[in-house]
Amino acid sequence: MTRRKTCNQFSIFVEMDGDLSHRPEDLKVGIHLVELEGYDVAIASQYVSGSKVINRPLGRSLISLISSMAIGFVISAQIKDHSNGYRFYIRHAASILIQY
């Protein structure tokens, strides 16, 4: 009988929406940022140069843009995309989120 792996064995956690709007090819970039570049969190943003959004209706894009601008004004302008669901976390950063 083989033991099932638990999340205790992983050092990087990835959040990715299941609506096919994020490119799986970008997994390597996000993982590289947290694993080798030393970032605690990396957020893939549709609002930075070179980004590409796929399979997203115009209405949803507008809601995302307005939401990110409003939240950025109140919370932090450093984060360009507050509504994005494509994020990469080191274990410690993910454990902080789990507490909330």
Q: What is the pLDDT of residue 100?
A: 65
pLDDT of 1 over the 90 cut: no
Please report, for residues 2, 5, 74, the alpha-carbon distance to residue 81 in angstroms, rounded to integers and kept in the order given. 41, 33, 13
Q: pLDDT digit string (tens) for 9-62?
A: 788 999 887 777 777 888 899 999 999 999 999 988 777 777 777 777 888 888
Q: Which residue has the higher pLDDT, 91 or 85?
A: 91
Distance CA(100)–CA(31), nearest Å, equals 24
Q: pLDDT digit string (tens) for 64-85?
A: 888 888 888 888 777 777 777 7
In the 8-state DSSP scheme, what is residue 26? G
